[in-house]
Homo-oligomer: A and B are copies of this chain.
């Protein structure tokens, strides 16, 4: 074989043999919009999600999984609120940890069940995961991320006065507490995630973007009141464990320009340069598609091969470039 044809063969073979993929699951992988959060319903949705993920495994990919936790941490915060007269409410970092345990358990059990259904026996494990953010992040001076229950105007004022929470009006549905959403710097448990995925374990990590912690000068870690964007958390982890692909699964089938307008146009493929231009031009919704495209760009700039954004249902085809939006250098 000539050197160049050997190279081509190696590239093809590595594609055939499957990639190391970080799968970032959107909220709809666990609860659809307007669904109540009963455990049975969450297990039912998660089982379907896991059937899709097992498809990736059967294609030969090694995967790590991250997931959102908005509705679950919202319920936990509300439960803390409802029982505050008799039990000390837990701070947001501890509530986030609870949601990682809860969602991690449901995913871990359902993944094993779906693997078992196709006679695959692969270890699956969910890790409690912390994400380092900077105390100097400007987000701490400008909380923007709504969390927890909705309040009417009167309650909101009382909550603001009594607890010092910042409150904002959210989408016409009432007032909510807002917390800072600082940029993730590093996942504390990166080495463990890497060791596990490299030995063939399916790892669930960085749920809800990871529990945000700051590190003081003497190296001491401490949880902070903040929420990390799940896709940006996933990107940091994907780069640091050396993933080939960052696959972000959400409730729309691909990235669009002028989404929902008459001149809507879908994007099947784009370069990092193009994606950056679209981001600058404000094409994507903040808190929704914008952080996904931003995570894609950062992943490629950080050495990743491909970032893919697609629906949960078409994730397998999207990994082969037959669905969704692929972003490359």
List residues of chain A with CB under 8 Å of any chain B CB. 36-39, 75-76, 78-80, 82-83, 86-88, 90-91, 93-94, 97-102, 104-106, 108-109, 112-113, 116-117, 123, 125-128, 130, 188-189, 191-192, 195-196, 199, 201, 204, 211, 213, 218-223
Contacts and interface: CB of A to CB of B under 8 A. Distances in A.
B192 A125 contact: yes
Contacts of A108: 128, 130
Residue of A86, A105, A218, A221 most packed against chain B (CB within 10 A):
A105
Contacts of A116: 218-220
Nearest to A76: B98
Given A104-B101, A109-B223, A213-B109, A91 B188 contact: no
For the complex of A and B, list the 10 residue pairs with the smallest distance between their C-beta atoms, beginning with the closest: A101-B101, A97-B105, A38-B88, A82-B83, A79-B79, A126-B128, A98-B98, A104-B128, A116-B219, A97-B101
Nearest to A203: B192
A171 B195 CA distance: 48
B36 A88 contact: yes
A156 to B, nearest CB: 18
B75 A94 contact: no
Contacts of A75: 87
A123 B105 CA distance: 22
A79 B88 contact: no
25 contacts: A36-B88, A39-B88, A39-B94, A75-B87, A79-B79, A79-B82, A79-B87, A90-B102, A98-B101, A104-B128, A105-B130, A109-B221, A113-B219, A116-B218, A117-B220, A125-B189, A126-B128, A127-B127, A127-B128, A128-B128, A192-B196, A195-B195, A195-B196, A195-B201, A196-B196
A110 B113 CA distance: 34
Contacts of A94: 39, 102, 105-106
Nearest to A127: B125
A68 to B, nearest CB: 15
Contacts of A218: 116
A201 to B, nearest CB: 6
A53 to B, nearest CB: 17
A200 to B, nearest CB: 10
Nearest to A213: B109
A210 to B, nearest CB: 11
Contacts of A109: 130, 213, 221-223
A244 B220 CA distance: 32
Given A116-B218, A123-B189, A195-B201, 12 more contacts: A38-B88, A78-B83, A79-B80, A79-B87, A90-B102, A100-B101, A101-B128, A109-B213, A112-B221, A113-B221, A125-B192, A126-B127
A127 to B, nearest CB: 5
A112 B199 CA distance: 24
A101 to B, nearest CB: 2
A224 to B, nearest CB: 12
A80 to B, nearest CB: 6
